[in-house]
Amino acid sequence: MKKILVIHGPNLNLLGQREPSIYGAATLDEINQKLTKVAQDFVELVILQSNHEGDIVDAIGKAPQDGVDAIVINPAAYTHTSVAIRDAIAAVNVPTVEVHLSNIYKREDFRHHSMIASVAVGQVSGFGLQSYVLGLMAAVDLAQGT
C-alpha cells in the first residue's frame, strides 16, 4: 500500500478554537479523522503537526527512507518565509501537494507569495477542510503514479 505523509505547520493545532471565520470550525483532530476516512482502503497515512521548522524539514528529508510516496503539506506561516522547507521539498524526489484552508490570495499581501509553490506539484487554497481532501486525492494519484 502506498504511503502519504500529511504535514500540518505551526499553530494549526489551534484550529477550531480561534478565527473560525477564516479557518473554519473544524479542529485538527476532525480534519485528521476526515483524511483518515478518505484514505482508508487506498493509502496509508502518516500525520505530523509541528510548530518547529526543523522538525518539518527533518520529516521531509527522511520521507524517502520512510517509504513515503507523496506529501500533503499545509506549511501555515512557513509558507511565506521558509527557504528551508522549500529546499527540503526540492531535495527529495517525493511529489508534494501544498494546501491551505483559506484563500491566501484574498488575504494580506504578505500571504500572496508562497515559497513552497514552485517546488510543489500543485496547490489547493481556499476550500477549508475540503482543501485537504482535494489535496489528499491529488496526492493519492501522484503516489500511485496515475
Mark whether 132 is an active-site residue. no
Of 50, 74, 82, 123, which one interacts with ligand CA2 (CB under 6 A)?
74
Length of the chain: 146
- Cβ–Cβ < 8 Å for 12, 49: yes
Mark whether 100 is an active-site residue. yes
Out of 8, 78, 80, 100, which one is annotated catalytic? 100
Told to check if 82 binds ligand CA2 by CB under 6 A, we report no
User: Scanning the structure block, which residue is given the C-alpha cell 521531509?
Assistant: 60
- Cβ–Cβ < 8 Å for 132, 8: no
Helices 129-144/28-39 angle, 10° precision: 30
- Cβ–Cβ < 8 Å for 121, 141: no
Contact window for ligand CA2 (CB under 6 A) among 13-21, 45-53, 65-73, 137-145: 13-21
Told to check if 27 binds ligand CA2 by CB under 6 A, we report no
Residues that bind ligand CA2 (CB under 6 A): 11-12, 14-15, 18-19, 23, 74, 76-77, 79, 100-102, 104, 111
